């Protein structure tokens, strides 16, 4: 049985790690380079770095921060935010990332997924999807872009299926409704996407305690769980979370 992964997310704004609730009210909480090294030494399986205002501000990603993080850690490292072309993808990979996450730009230009997968391999291409509940959509969930600021006409399930066909090798599924609440992942959304695509799905948004990860692994069929607040504020450690999950029957990399 494939082991489940714990991934820590570093949302970065103006060179600082930041955290908000439901994509709003962000406050700065630390230096992303120092935090990345700490979590690597704590035993996290992967890290994700999001430049959360790059797309909205129509600028490129802060490549210098990516380079400094990559110098300190030796685990898979995904980078997203402001990646608008294959050239941007190449810069991020050369700066030391193993994966590229596309979100808003992929909605605006879906061919970027296909181009990136063709050149770098689909294992490098991660689709970040920000979704919120909407009863007017066929699946019950609508896709948002620009850091959750802009609603689209895309249905979450339809977009996931399209992106997989284009070459996305993994999904990071961000629930806007659950983000930062510490009340648990959006299980319905996660299970729906996981059961309908053939690539790994990372659940994101809402983790507040180890039981939430157990729930999304066992009932949401997630391949990995992304966490932020529960470790950023010192409530839990990576090792403690892994020990709880392993004792609950979830296969983990210890």
| For residue 25, pLDDT beyond 60 | no
The verdict on whether 130 is a catalytic residue reads yes
Active-site annotation holder among 130, 179, 215, 223: 130
What's residue 18's pLDDT? 62
| For residue 72, pLDDT beyond 90 | yes
pTM: 0.91
Q: Phi-psi region for residue 227, left (φ > 0), alpha (ψ -120 to 50) or beta?
A: beta
Domain boundaries of the chain, sorted by first residue: 5-247
DSSP states of 158-179: HHHHHHHHHT--EEEEEETTTT
SS3 at position 218? helix
Are the CB atoms for 246 and 43 separated by under 8 Å? no
The CA distance from 221 to 137, in Å, is 22
Other CB atoms within 10 Å distance of the CB of residue 24: 12
| For residue 193, pLDDT beyond 60 | yes
Q: With pLDDT > 70 as the criterion, what percentage of the chain qualifies?
A: 89
Give the model confidence (pLDDT) of 114-140 as tens digits. Answer: 999 999 999 999 999 999 999 999 999
| For residue 4, pLDDT beyond 80 | yes
The CA distance from 183 to 160, in Å, is 25
For 5-247, CATH number?
A: 3.20.20.70
Task: Name residue 30's beta-bridge partners.
Answer: 17
Mean pLDDT value of segment 20-48 = 80
**Tokens describing residue 159:** 């977009």
The CA distance from 73 to 45, in Å, is 11
Q: With pLDDT > 90 as the criterion, what percentage of the chain qualifies?
A: 74
**Tokens describing residue 31:** 């230096």
Give the model confidence (pLDDT) of 201-238 as tens digits. Answer: 999 999 999 999 999 999 999 999 999 989 988 999 99
| For residue 112, pLDDT beyond 90 | yes
What's residue 2's pLDDT? 87
Give the length of the chain.
254
CA atoms within 13 A on the CB side of 118: 8
Mean pLDDT value of segment 157-170 = 98
What's residue 250's pLDDT? 98
Element (H, E) at 7: strand 5-13
| For residue 89, pLDDT beyond 70 | yes
| For residue 28, pLDDT beyond 60 | no
What's residue 62's pLDDT? 77
Are the CB atoms for 8 and 43 separated by under 8 Å? no
Q: Band the pLDDT of 22: cuts 50, 70, 90.
A: low
| For residue 54, pLDDT beyond 70 | no
What's residue 29's pLDDT? 62
Give the model confidence (pLDDT) of 177-187 as tens digits. Answer: 998 889 999 99
Mean pLDDT value of segment 92-121 = 96
DSSP states of 222-245: -SEEEE-HHHHTSS--HHHHHHHH
The CA distance from 252 to 246, in Å, is 6
The verdict on whether 51 is a catalytic residue reads no
SS3 at position 76? coil
């Amino acid at each position: 049985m494939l082991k489940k992964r714990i991934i820590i997310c570093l949302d970065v704004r103006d060179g600082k790690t930041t955290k908000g609730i439901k994509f709003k009210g962000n406050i700065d909480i630390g230096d992303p380079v120092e935090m990345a090294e700490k979590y690597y030494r704590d035993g996290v399986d992967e890290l994700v770095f999001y430049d959360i205002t790059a797309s909205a501000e129509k600028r490129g990603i802060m490549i210098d921060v990516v380079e400094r993080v990559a110098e300190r850690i030796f685990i898979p490292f995904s980078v997203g935010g402001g990646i608008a072309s294959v050239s941007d993808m190449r810069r991020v990979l050369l700066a030391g990332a193993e994966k590229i996450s596309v979100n808003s730009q992929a909605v605006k230009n879906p061919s970027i997924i296909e181009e990136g997968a063709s050149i770098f391999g689909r294992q490098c291409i991660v689709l970040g999807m920000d979704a919120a509940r909407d009863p007017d959509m066929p699946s019950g969930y609508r896709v948002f872009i620009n850091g959750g600021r802009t609603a689209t006409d895309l249905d979450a399930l339809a977009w996931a299926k399209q992106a997989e066909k284009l070459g996305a090798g993994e999904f990071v599924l961000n629930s806007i409704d659950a983000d930062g609440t510490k009340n648990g992942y959006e299980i319905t959304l996660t299970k729906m996407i996981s059961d309908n695509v053939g690539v790994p799905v990372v659940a994101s948004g809402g983790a507040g305690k180890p039981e939430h990860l157990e729930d999304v692994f066992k009932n949401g069929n997630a391949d990995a769980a992304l966490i932020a607040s529960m470790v950023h504020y010192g409530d839990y450690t990576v090792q403690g979370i892994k020990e709880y999950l392993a004792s609950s029957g979830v296969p983990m990399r210890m």
